[in-house]
Amino acid sequence: MGWVRSSRDNLRRLKAKVEGSPFTVVDEEGNRTKVSESDFYANFMHNAERMRAGWRRKQGVQEEAPPPHPVGEALKGATNPLPQLLENAADAQRRLDEQLDEQLDEQQ
């Protein structure tokens, strides 16, 4: 009967992955942020707007880039091990923030 319980547990894990169950990100202060598929998408779209603002600034338009999305901030400050997908997203978030900060410094 142990194999039935094991199979049920595996099925639950697979279902959670397919349904996009939220992943918990813990920062240095112990704050927890749940990141779901829709949060990840919202962060992506927000970063796209931030990149557009950075591009417009390079074209000479005086525009302030929006601050990072809360999910992006949480990913950058994560102290718990992240799945590879979220680790890649955290690295991309750090690079984007550095790039936008450099552009801002160049203009000032």
pLDDT at position 80: 87
Task: Look up the domain containing 32 and give its range.
Answer: 22-107
CA distance 94 to 96: 5
Stretch 41-65: mean pLDDT, rounded? 88
Segment 65-85 shows an average pLDDT of 89
Instruction: Please give the Cα distance from 41 to 107 (Å, whole number).
Output: 30
What is the per-residue pLDDT for 87?
87
- Per the structure, the count of domains in the chain is 1
In a domain? residue 4: no
Report CA Rg, the chain. Answer: 18
Q: How far apart are CA 9 and CA 107, in angstroms?
A: 55
Look up residue 44 and give its amino acid.
Answer: F
Quickly state the pLDDT bin for 85 (edges 50, 70, 90): confident
The rounded mean pLDDT for the chain is 82
Comparing CA positions, the residue from 104, 100, 5 lying closest to residue 52 is 100
* Residue 36 belongs to a domain: yes
In a domain, 6, yes or no: no
- Is 11 within the bounds of a domain? no
In a domain, 37, yes or no: yes
